[in-house]
């Protein structure tokens, strides 16, 4: 083999190695790293010095459910309050004047 053949072989091998490295890097960047980030996000990350813990997906769902339960409780108590007001209004409907205002809201002229 002459020198030109050796140089051609070296350039070919270098090109092949570069293509393999580029393909492996693409697989890492586009497939493996996003999957690792997804798994990390799903499981959560414990606290480290200077970095707070990040809860996992299930912990966040539990927090959302707790907030929803508190909101449902507040809405339920508001609905109960509204029902009580409606009962009071119905009970005092005979006290209302013809203009629909209670007697205490009239001001002397």
Span 11-21, pLDDT tens digits: 999 999 999 99
What pLDDT was estimated at residue 104? 61
pLDDT digits (tens, 9 = 90+) for 21-72: 999 999 999 999 999 988 988 988 889 999 899 999 999 999 999 999 999 8
pLDDT at residue 109 tops 80: no
d(Cα 55, Cα 87) in Å, to the nearest integer? 46
pTM: 0.49
Q: Are 36 and 43 in contact (CB under 8 A)?
A: no
- Phi-psi sector, 30: left (phi>0), alpha (psi -120 to 50), beta: alpha
């Amino acid at each position: 083999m002459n020198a030109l053949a050796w140089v051609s072989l070296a350039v070919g091998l270098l090109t092949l190695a570069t293509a393999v490295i580029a393909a492996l890097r693409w697989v890492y960047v586009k497939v493996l790293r996003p999957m690792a980030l997804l798994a990390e996000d799903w499981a959560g990350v414990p606290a480290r010095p200077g970095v707070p813990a990040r809860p996992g997906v299930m912990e966040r769902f539990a927090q959302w459910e707790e907030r929803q339960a508190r909101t449902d409780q507040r809405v339920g108590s508001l609905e109960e309050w509204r029902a009580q007001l409606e009962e009071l209004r119905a009970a005092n409907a005979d006290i209302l004047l013809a203009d629909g205002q209670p007697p205490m809201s009239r001001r002397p002229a």
